[in-house]
Structure 1
């Protein structure tokens, strides 16, 4: 089996590549310097030359607030780029795994969103990722769409690294407490994605670490595990306005994993402890 991994320099692509290596599965990892998603001819050329059996598409424009102003750029990468990649994969009859996001939903209520719940993104980033989903479903039959949220991994910036940095220089931090969801550790997610592409259990999935929390609770857990004395003061989202509207409810129903026989990811607090050790954080 040969796998093409996009976004290999990012948090998730990095861990997917590591997992494929661990399994002795041949792969080619590409970043934006190796393949420009906004140039369809370049995408087609790279895919045709390598001729993979599966594509794991981790690359994306993920600057949520900047996407409000750079909507065209986000669309070019997340929607048009995904369409070009899906077309190229279809040409060679490769499986296609697309990473999506909780941001395709409207973020209301308290009930976990099912895989087929109504899609009403609150911001431009979510809209471009939804268009990416639709491009995959329009072009492909052999596809997996995997929605994730609150991502953290070794190779890149994320909420945990930000909290660790600020926690070492502040006595107190204010963090929003009314946005609920589940963190996703890329080292836990990567094996699941590799499991998926070795099957023909196509469809839409939600895959995050188990358990529900909010950003303030998450931040407090980070400080506790890292033995940092910084206090976390919970605030409502209204006290911390951002250019892009964030969903208050990012809970996602993961029963589609169970039905397909895939194993759910470990609990998020366990993932946090392992991650802090992996990056050599204080207390880790």
Structure 2
């Protein structure tokens, strides 16, 4: 099994490499090694390597900056995936593309299903949705995996930000009216590998944490475990605040909980994010 992985320096890319099965071959490339927005480069690299599977973990994920960098977000999140899907089609390779819960507007009151109506609130979400549509049009048998609230021992993420702020400040205001599912990047990586191993049918799948919470509840659990594991002497005082009290350039969905029922039918269990917090904290 030969796999071409893009986004090798990101959270998911690094976790994917950590869990990569022995006996398989991987060509893990960063944006410096392969510019996915350059179609000629994509076709050249893929034609030379001839992968059986292309996994796209590359993305522009700066949600707020995207509001002022729409062109760049579109290049990376829409044009790039389309180029990779085109290359997979030319080779007869399978293609897995990772997307986001931010393709939804957050007005639902129960977990989003894969075929629910999309309506992104900002540039980031729109660029990711357009990427999904471009991939599906280019290569209908592609697998698109939407995930959410990703954290890990790598890169920048909410968990690491909380630990840093918690060691510096006695109190923190955390948004308590946005709901979603924290997801460990290592669990996403394992899910993607299982999708490859089982040769799962193409289409959209949701993969995320097993429990929907607010950012406030997520932070509270991070600090509870950090104190328990003696990574912090004590937790800061957490104050529950509203989205209005913490304005950001990009609007966030108030409810972006994803249903994982479909992917569970392939034997893939949702991310046990509370257990993963312990694992990540001990790695840091």
Q: Which residue number in structure 1 is paired with residue 142 of structure 2?
A: 143
2: distance between equivalents of 1:239 and 1:141?
42
Q: TM-score, normalised by structure 1?
A: 0.95
Partners of 1:27 and 1:118 lie apart in 2 by 36
Q: CA–CA distance in 1 between the matches of 2:23 and 2:8?
A: 17
In 2: Cα distance, 1:88 partner to 1:47 partner: 7
Contact 1:182 1:212 in 2 (8 A): yes
- Pick from 235, 246, 249 the counterpart of residue 229 of structure 1: 235
Find the aligned partners of 2:108 and 2:85 in 1 and give their Cα distance. Answer: 33
Kindly state the Cα deviation for residue 154 of structure 1 after the two structures are TM-superposed.
1.8
Alignment of 1:26-105 (within 5 A): 26-105=25-104
Distance in structure 2 (CA, Å) of the matches to 1:118 and 1:270: 32
2:186 alignment partner in structure 1: 187
Contact 1:149 1:183 in 2 (8 A): yes
1:271 aligns with 2:276: yes
TM-score normalised over the length of structure 2:
0.95
What is the number of equivalent residue pairs in this alignment?
A: 277
| Equivalent residues of 1:94, 1:142 under 8 A apart | no
- Is it true that 1:243 corresponds to 2:269 in the alignment? no
Structure 2: runs of 5+ lacking an equivalent = 228-233
- Structure 1 unaligned blocks of 5 or more: 280-284
Pairwise CA distance, 1:152: 0.7
CA-CA distance at 1:263 after TM superposition = 1.9
RMSD, aligned CA: 1.1
Counterpart Cα distance in 2 of 1:243 and 1:167: 24
Match of 1:282 in 2: none
Offset at residue 191 of structure 1 (A): 1.1
Matches within 5 A, 1:247-258: 247-258=253-264
